[in-house]
């Protein structure tokens, strides 16, 4: 049988490929939240194993050393644990709380570093990820009529809560099989698909959209793009719609940016923008107001949570944070302080050192990928992905959703490694 570029040809590719294909089955049994960490650990252990036996392997089969940027991600995420422990000691939170927080760190911040590391060093081809996501998109389109009809034919909003919740130890929303939700004010239906909440579904939709654009087969690309757009639109996430406009075209624009004709086309637009700058600024402010007013209560709660997080960080725990998440007052509907925002959450829980532990890897990665995006296909995927994570860091807690958007992390790892040295395409099938 002739192997095509999208067929998995080694054990890391098979793990990644079949985990993506099993998305809907894992959602149904409540296993997505568990599958992500298990996959991240499995891929990392595979990499460490092949590093260990490297002296016995032919040179062509040895894994490359991680690029320096990968080590920075690892350093930043491991530093999070040390910062967490100091915060617990400062506030005397006790052994039980420390163990619980350490487990949460392993399932969140460490998982981000593990997937980036796996993507960087393991022989996983991006084409395998693109095809698996497009196939999952086909399954999503087949299931779409059930989701759309559910709120109108009397089906329950939640099918069940998986008993696997006991293993995961997090909120029940990670283990629910939810068909739809209803907006508190209007009662209109809103869909979250296999994500724990609707904005997270929009984030995954954007990851799928970027990947589907890279698929070479037109038929599979159509399935992938259609499913991604359906998830983004039906999630009704404002951030996802903005991301679709800003990040969606990035791979194509980056591919064309080195062509001189593009600069000749852009120059008149820049000149016109300068002439109508005041009008454009007024339109931007109006759009921003409408964006915030679309869900005024949600915007108010988010802004208040951010203010509380910053004020308490500055006055109570500047360097190492409070160590744990605390529930907010009635004013913010008792939501956790620092939630819905990675940077506020880091400042409150881990202080300025935790903030820097994420900011430094982000800055290094963006600088490297901007340069890589001008010349390589992987760079043109990695840059939109890291931009997507940066954008969502202002609206979500990245660590809590790493189990869901992990394909983006693997692709970021590939793109960062490509900034240095990466095995050729002929060497990708050399690991069992």
CA distance 143 to 150: 11
Contacts for 62 with CB less than 8 Å, ≥ 6 apart: 50, 54
Contacts for 317 with CB less than 8 Å, ≥ 6 apart: 87, 90, 91, 323, 348, 351
Which pLDDT does position 325 carry in this prediction? 85
Q: What is the pLDDT along the chain (432 residues), one digit of tens a residue?
A: 445 667 889 999 999 999 999 999 999 999 999 999 999 999 999 999 999 888 888 887 888 899 999 999 999 999 999 999 999 999 989 899 999 999 999 999 999 999 999 999 999 999 999 999 999 999 999 999 999 999 999 899 999 999 988 886 678 899 999 999 998 767 789 999 999 999 999 999 999 999 999 999 999 999 999 999 999 999 998 889 989 988 888 877 777 666 665 555 555 665 655 555 555 456 555 555 554 555 556 677 778 888 888 899 998 989 998 988 888 776 666 778 877 788 999 999 999 999 999 999 999 999 999 989 988 889 999 999 999 999 999 988 999 999 999 999 999 999 999 986 544 444 444 555
Tokens 């903030």 found at: 355
Which pLDDT does position 1 carry in this prediction? 41
Structure tokens at 41: 């650990």
Which pLDDT does position 269 carry in this prediction? 60
Which pLDDT does position 422 carry in this prediction? 45
Which pLDDT does position 289 carry in this prediction? 57
3-state secondary structure the chain: CCCCCCCCCCHHHHHHHHHHHCHHHHHHHCCHHHHHHHHHHHHHHHHHHHHHCHHHCCHHHCCCCCCHHHHHHHHHHHHHHHHHHHHHHHHCCHHHHHHHHHHHHHHCHHHHHHHHHHHHHCCCCHHHHHHHHHHHHHHHHHHHHHHHHHHHCCCCCEEEECCCHHHHCCCHHHCEEECCEECCCCCCEECCCCCCCHHHHHHHHHHHHHHHHHCCCHHHHHHHHHHHHHHHHHHCCHHHHHHHHHCCCHHHHHHHCCCHHHHHHHHHHHHHHHHCHHHHHHHHHHHHHHHHHCCHHHHHHHHHHHHHHHHHHHHHCCCCCCCCCCECCHHHCCCECCCCCHHHHHHHHHHHHHHHHHHHHHHHHHHHHHHHHCCCHHHHHHHHHHHHHHHHCCCCCHHHHCCCCHHHHHHHHHHHHHCCCCCCHHHCCCCC
Tokens 């909120």 found at: 171
> pTM (2 decimals)?
0.90
CA distance 204 to 123: 24
Tokens 């990968």 found at: 70
Which pLDDT does position 247 carry in this prediction? 87
Tokens 């724990």 found at: 196
CA distance 287 to 131: 36
CA distance 24 to 141: 12
Which pLDDT does position 188 carry in this prediction? 87
CA distance 301 to 388: 23
- 8 A C-beta contact, residue 30 and residue 177: yes
Which pLDDT does position 429 carry in this prediction? 45
- 8 A C-beta contact, residue 317 and residue 350: no
Which pLDDT does position 170 carry in this prediction? 73
Structure tokens at 171: 């909120």
């Amino acid at each position: 049988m002739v192997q095509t570029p999208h067929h998995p040809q080694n054990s890391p590719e098979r793990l990644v490929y079949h985990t993506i294909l099993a998305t809907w089955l894992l959602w149904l049994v409540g296993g997505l939240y568990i599958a992500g960490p298990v996959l991240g650990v499995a891929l990392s252990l595979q990499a460490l194993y092949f590093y260990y036996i490297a002296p016995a392997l032919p040179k062509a089969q040895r894994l490359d050393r991680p690029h320096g940027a990968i080590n920075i991600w690892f350093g930043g995420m491991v530093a999070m644990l040390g910062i967490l422990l100091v915060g617990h000691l400062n506030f005397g939170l006790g052994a039980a709380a420390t163990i619980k927080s350490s487990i949460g760190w392993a399932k969140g911040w460490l998982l981000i570093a593990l997937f980036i590391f796996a993507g960087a060093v393991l022989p996983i081809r991006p084409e395998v990820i693109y095809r698996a996501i497009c196939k999952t998109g086909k399954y999503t389109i087949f299931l779409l009529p059930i989701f759309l009809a559910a709120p109108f034919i009397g089906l329950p909003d939640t099918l069940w809560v998986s008993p696997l919740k006991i293993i995961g130890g997090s909120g029940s929303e990670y283990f629910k099989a939810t068909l739809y939700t209803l907006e508190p004010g209007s009662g209109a239906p809103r869909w979250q698909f296999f994500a724990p909440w609707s904005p997270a579904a929009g984030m995954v939709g954007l990851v799928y959209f970027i990947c589907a654009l890279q698929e070479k087969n037109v038929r599979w690309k159509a399935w992938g793009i259609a499913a991604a757009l359906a998830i983004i639109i039906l999630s009704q996430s404002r951030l996802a719609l903005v991301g679709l406009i800003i990040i969606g075209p990035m791979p194509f624009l980056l591919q064309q940016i080195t062509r001189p004709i593009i600069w000749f086309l852009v120059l008149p637009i820049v000149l016109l923008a300068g002439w109508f700058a005041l009008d454009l600024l007024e339109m931007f402010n109006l759009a921003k107001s409408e964006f915030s007013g679309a869900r005024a209560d949600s915007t108010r709660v988010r802004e208040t949570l951010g203010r509380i997080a910053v004020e308490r960080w500055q006055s109570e725990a500047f360097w190492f944070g409070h160590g744990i998440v605390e529930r907010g007052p009635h004013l913010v509907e008792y939501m956790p302080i620092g939630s819905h925002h990675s940077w506020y959450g880091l400042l409150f829980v881990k202080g300025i050192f935790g903030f820097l532990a994420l900011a430094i890897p982000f800055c290094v990665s963006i600088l490297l990928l901007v340069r890589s995006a001008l010349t390589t296909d992987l760079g043109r995927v990695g840059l939109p992905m890291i931009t997507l994570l940066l954008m969502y860091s202002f609206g979500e807690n990245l660590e809590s959703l790493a189990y869901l958007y992990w394909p983006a992390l693997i692709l970021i790892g590939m793109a960062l490694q490509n900034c240095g040295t990466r095995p050729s395409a002929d060497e990708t099938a050399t690991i069992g």
